[in-house]
Amino acid sequence: MAAREGTRRRTVSLLAAVWAAGALTGCQTIADAASTSGCEGTESRVDDLKSYGVLDSRPQGTIEPGGFEGLDAGCWEDSGEAQLYAERTYVFPGDKADVTQHYRAAAEREGWKPSPATRRSSKADRPTNLCFTRDEAENSAMLDVYFLTKEILDAEETRTGPEFDSGVGYRVAVTSSADGSTTSCSD
């Protein structure tokens, strides 16, 4: 699991964004998802997260912006809580509604279950951050699709290229607690 430059900062910001987005989308991890063993020995579970097809799914015309190429994955640990993640960052030249429509369909095809907030936003047919869950044999995962704001990118101390000026920047992230405990989207 080779770390790219800025991975730790992006991961910290990712988790901060996921938790902040939780207030807006109804997605959040359960507080007791802390791992007693931390990141040690989680490589195969990170590989499991990387294998979800939704991470490679994207609307036609979407690009990977400079500095964000490829899949970023690993384990992040802070204050005894360890979280596994696999994420991709994209820029789409259209609007947010096309992105949310694409990922609702892609997540459904892969068996992800939408949060109540994601289901409500679907009925309203409006673009929004999305949150889905998936529970498999003692392993729970959460899928977030969220739009990148200037505040998120600034917190990551990320320098963005001109691609971000040409469309909508967003991130697709699959996360799980390192100990396999339940991760969920809530109302």
> What pLDDT shows up at residue 123?
67
Q: Tell me the CA distances in angstroms from 71 to 37, 100, 142, 175, 187, one per residue in order.
A: 25, 20, 17, 13, 29
Residue 127 tokens, joined: 């673009």
Among 160, 169, 162, 153, which residue's Cα sits nearest to residue 94? 169
> What pLDDT shows up at residue 135?
76
pLDDT along the chain (187 residues), means of 10: 42 43 42 56 93 95 93 87 94 92 94 87 73 77 91 86 86 90 70
- Residue 158 and residue 138: Cα distance in Å, rounded? 35
Residue 90 tokens, joined: 């994209």
> What pLDDT shows up at residue 37?
64
Task: Give me the half-sphere count of Cα atoms (radius 13 Å) on the Cβ side of residue 18.
Answer: 28
* Residue 152 CA from chain centroid, whole number: 13
> What pLDDT shows up at residue 103?
95
Model pTM above 0.85? no
**Phi/psi of residue 128, each to 5°?**
-160, 165
